[in-house]
Chain A
Amino acid sequence: MRRDGFGAARLAFFALLTLAVMLVCVCVGSVSLPLAETAKTIVRAALGRETSGMTASIVLRVRLPRVLCTALTGASLSLCGAAMQGLLRNPLADGSTLGVSSGASLGAVTAILFGVTLPGLPVGGTMAMAMLFAFLSLCLLLALALALDRTLATGTIILIGVVFSMFVSALLSLLVTFAGERLRTVTFWTMGSMASASYSSALTLSVALLACGGALFSQSRALDAFALGEERALHLGVNVRRVKLTVMIAVCALIGVCVSIGGGIGFVGLVTPHMARRLVGASHRRLLPACLFGGAVFLLLSDLAARTLLSPLELPVGVVTSLIGAVAFVAILLRGRGEAAE
């Protein structure tokens, strides 16, 4: 019988692909850098050796932290999308379509506006509020969806998510408008940008991804069962309440961290799991690792396009992901209708 794990060969392929794309993204930009020299600079810096010159400065101070943050954000958002799609049995579920990202943005903006901080952690208050608002948004959305349609039909959830997202975005715009110079632009909170990435942000993202990603990976079999329906999962022996809470908390925490660092980047969690399923199948034991790498690659390439397409002008990365995401959304809808008709 075939085993259902991710496999070492697949892991090596995906990891090498991600590293290669990361390297290309460090090299390409307003100033193009030679591949070999860039790689050498990164290796020297990683080994703690001295680096100097223009290339080292661009690579280590500007591009590398951005590329690291972008890869980690893409991996995180994609993982969250795959987990939510399994939990809700809904291929259109994603932080952006459900309004969770907007909720997190609202939380972050509220924290900045009202000066919510955690002792010893300058950005901790913003992140904590982003996580809290993301969780509250998801709870509110599910409560509304349950009240309207107990079957939690795909269409109902997405419809409520879109309305909820628009409502929260309106609140967000209102807050940002009244806050004046104290907050970043509405565009940052709704479309995202990786321009202000730093090594400390990358470290925060790594810790969040390790903790929340680990929690999600530990539920991969339960997510398979959920993908067949919540009641069937219960009959198969899944502790439905515990799994639901674990996944929801992990997803909201991860989205909260991503939003407070890179803003509201939409559709990453919709596009990548959809593509990953085509490559590795539907089992979450393979899907989650594939999304981890796939999400990183997708956001890296989107960010590369955002900063090079109209150079020297830089687009918000969410513009690129949303353009691709909207097409993917329609494709998934059409595919779903095709399968239903068969």
Chain B
Amino acid sequence: MNLTAKDIRVRAGGKEIVRGASFALTDGDWLMIVGPNGAGKTTLVRALCGGVPCEGEATIDGEALSAMRPALRARRVGLLDQQTGVTYAFSVEEVVRLGRYAYRGGAFGRGDADGERLVEEALHATGLYDKRRQSMLTLSGGERQRAFLAQALCQDPSVLILDEPGNHLDLAYQRQLYALLDDWRRRPGKAVISVMHDLALARRYGTRVLLMERGAGSFGTPREVLTREALSRAFGMDVCAWMRDVYGAWEA
């Protein structure tokens, strides 16, 4: 699997929100998209999945993502966004099972041989199997986030894109989540992209980093991109000194 994004640009309301982001991923990569608020991180991942119109070219194995039918695109890229709101009392397993939509289509769609197994696996992996019959309206924010993660996992895309996946999760679940994603990206033909605020986690798990700054991105390995100078310029503060100050207290 090869995902390439070349000079992605997104305009909205007369403003250029993403100003030329480029990167390339292959099997086993985990791309961390980092940067300050308003840098265009979320807009970039939405644009990759067709959620907002964009210029530039994003291809997966040579095929343009924008030209793909929605169901085909959903099999190649899946997005877990930050929305966890639910209006109706769907059960957890109903929400998770919707992750298989692209494989079985409408009400009269053909069967999905792997579907139920993947739904069950995703429910177990996110610790929601025992709550699968429960209404989504009765779950906490973190549990809803896990239900939508399970939905994205059973969608089984080549590239799993997550927008701040640790939101709403306590530390134990965050550790479980990052371990799960780390295992997942090592499967053949898989890669992960996540928008992250926690630079320590980005450095720990990322194989590639895209540092976004006012809509523009610099891409490379964590060691190449997350330098003291680049982070200071992007965030307008000495990030490394602050990280040492915060995390240094835990060393003892």
A contact set with B: CB distance below 8 Å: 1-2, 4, 89-91, 217-222, 224-225, 227-229, 231-232, 234-240, 277, 281-283, 285, 339
Stretch at the interface among B15-23, B83-91, B171-179, B190-198: B83-91
Q: A89-B87, A235-B51, A239-B70 are in contact. Are A1 and B119 (CB under 8 A)?
A: yes
Verify if B97 is at the interface (C-beta below 8 Å from A). yes
A339 touches B137 (CB 8 A): yes
B73 touches A237 (CB 8 A): yes
Which single member of B87, B90, B116 contacts A281 (CB below 8 Å)?
Answer: B90
A234 touches B107 (CB 8 A): no
Q: A236-B99, A239-B69, A282-B89 are in contact. Are A224 and B106 (CB under 8 A)?
A: no
Give the chain A neighbours of B102 by CB distance below 8 A.
Answer: 236-237
Verify if B81 is at the interface (C-beta below 8 Å from A). yes
Q: State how many angstroms separate the Cβ of A237 from the closest Cβ of chain B.
A: 3
Give the chain A neighbours of B50 by CB distance below 8 A.
Answer: 234-235
The CA of A285 and the CA of B107, in the complex, are separated in Å by: 8
Verify if B94 is at the interface (C-beta below 8 Å from A). yes
B89 touches A220 (CB 8 A): no
Which single member of B75, B78, B81, B97 contacts A231 (CB below 8 Å)?
Answer: B81
The CA of A89 and the CA of B86, in the complex, are separated in Å by: 9
A236 touches B101 (CB 8 A): yes
Verify if B145 is at the interface (C-beta below 8 Å from A). no
Q: List 30 A-B contacts (CB under 8 A).
A: A4-B97, A90-B87, A91-B87, A218-B106, A220-B107, A221-B105, A222-B101, A224-B94, A224-B98, A225-B101, A228-B95, A228-B98, A229-B83, A231-B51, A234-B51, A235-B50, A235-B51, A235-B79, A236-B98, A236-B102, A237-B71, A237-B155, A238-B71, A239-B70, A240-B70, A281-B90, A281-B94, A282-B90, A282-B94, A283-B90
Verify if B133 is at the interface (C-beta below 8 Å from A). yes
Which chain A residue shows the least CB distance to B99? A236
Q: A234-B70, A235-B74, A236-B98 are in contact. Are A91 and B88 (CB under 8 A)?
A: yes
Q: State how many angstroms separate the Cβ of A80 from the closest Cβ of chain B.
A: 17
Which single member of B83, B86, B101, B119 contacts A237 (CB below 8 Å)?
Answer: B101
A4 touches B94 (CB 8 A): yes
Which chain B residue shows the least CB distance to A285? B107
A237 touches B46 (CB 8 A): no
Size of interface on B: residues with Cβ below 8 Å to A: 43
Give the chain B neighbours of A1 by CB distance below 8 A.
Answer: 93, 116, 119-120
Q: State how many angstroms separate the Cβ of A313 from the closest Cβ of chain B.
A: 40
Q: State how many angstroms separate the Cβ of A253 from the closest Cβ of chain B.
A: 19
Q: A221-B98, A221-B106 are in contact. Are A227 and B87 (CB under 8 A)?
A: yes
Binary A-proximity of B89-132 (CB < 8 A = 1, otherwise 0): 11101110111011011111100000010011000000000000
The CA of A221 and the CA of B79, in the complex, are separated in Å by: 19
Which chain B residue shows the least CB distance to A236? B101
Give the chain A neighbours of B85 by CB distance below 8 A.
Answer: 229
Verify if B49 is at the interface (C-beta below 8 Å from A). yes
Interface centre among A89, A218, A229, A282 (most CB of B within 10 A): A282
The CA of A237 and the CA of B106, in the complex, are separated in Å by: 11
The CA of A173 and the CA of B69, in the complex, are separated in Å by: 47
Q: State how many angstroms separate the Cβ of A92 from the closest Cβ of chain B.
A: 11
Which chain B residue shows the least CB distance to A246? B106
Which chain A residue shows the least CB distance to B155? A236
* The 10 residue pairs across chains A and B that have the minimum distance between CB atoms: A237-B102, A237-B74, A282-B88, A237-B71, A236-B101, A235-B79, A220-B107, A282-B90, A239-B70, A282-B89
Q: State how many angstroms separate the Cβ of A287 from the closest Cβ of chain B.
A: 9
Interface centre among B46, B85, B98, B101 (most CB of A within 10 A): B98
Q: State how many angstroms separate the Cβ of B106 from the closest Cβ of chain A.
A: 5
Which chain A residue shows the least CB distance to B72? A237
Interface centre among B71, B86, B88 (most CB of A within 10 A): B88
Binary A-proximity of B50-78 (CB < 8 A = 1, otherwise 0): 11000000000000000001111111001
Which chain B residue shows the least CB distance to A243? B106
Interface residues of B in 161-204 (CB under 8 A from A): none
Give the chain A neighbours of B137 by CB distance below 8 A.
Answer: 339
Give the chain B neighbours of A283 by CB distance below 8 A.
Answer: 90-91, 94
Q: What 12 new A-B contacts, CB under 8 Å, besides A238-B101, A281-B91?
A: A4-B94, A91-B88, A219-B106, A220-B106, A221-B98, A225-B101, A228-B90, A234-B51, A236-B101, A237-B73, A277-B89, A283-B91
